[in-house]
A = this chain, B = another copy of it.
Amino acid sequence: MLLRVHDLSCARGGVPVLERLSFELSPGDVLVLRGPNGSGKTTLLRTIAGLQPPIAGRIEAEDGAVAYGAHADGLKATLSVAENLRFWAGVYGTGGIDAALAAFDLVQLQDRQAQNLSAGQKRRLGLARLLVTGRPVWALDEPTVSLDVASVGLFADAVRAHVAGGGAALIATHIDLGLESRVLDVSAHRAVAPVDALDEAFL
């Protein structure tokens, strides 16, 4: 078991958004999060990544198991593609970046500054970062935004290779990725009443 989420509730900006979510990810699993805009997918992923505390429930995962990919890519405009990637490889203490560059078709672009990439090329670079984290659980927030069909295919391949190697992925998306996956629709877990733990003192 790589990640176990038990009876989780989470809030955004002080407002409870999702409640009573439970699911598990084993090696090889892909779980797609669905839900209309504003239903709380980003909130859930941030909570799982450890950026915000849950308001109730438990998240069980090994320390440093989750690699988070957010709406924003965290690219440095003045660094080249290779430099951006090498930085993250250094931070995560993993080795080379060549495999990551190749997987997202960035070899040609590797000396280009990130600011001179098109929207989709930037996104590919952002995704390549996942490969250099070396972490088993990918928690991705709309990874395929701005990608063309071919690049979505590259991404799907990367995910397939990752889970085949014993990893798992949790992906929030609105489109069809062409992956075999379970689906979790978060709109079924919309928080109804304000959870007491939050403002209980004032209610």
Contact = CB atoms under 8 A, between A and B. Distances in A.
Contacts of A150: 36
A101 to B, nearest CB: 15
The oligomer's copy count stands at 2
A37 B118 contact: yes
A37 B116 contact: no
A42 B35 CA distance: 29
Interface in A12-49: 13, 35-38, 42
Interface string A99-142: 00000000000000000111111011000000000000000001
Interface of A: 13, 35-38, 42, 71, 116-121, 123-124, 142, 145-151, 174-175
Given A37-B147, A38-B117, A145-B146, 5 more contacts: A36-B148, A37-B121, A37-B151, A119-B142, A146-B174
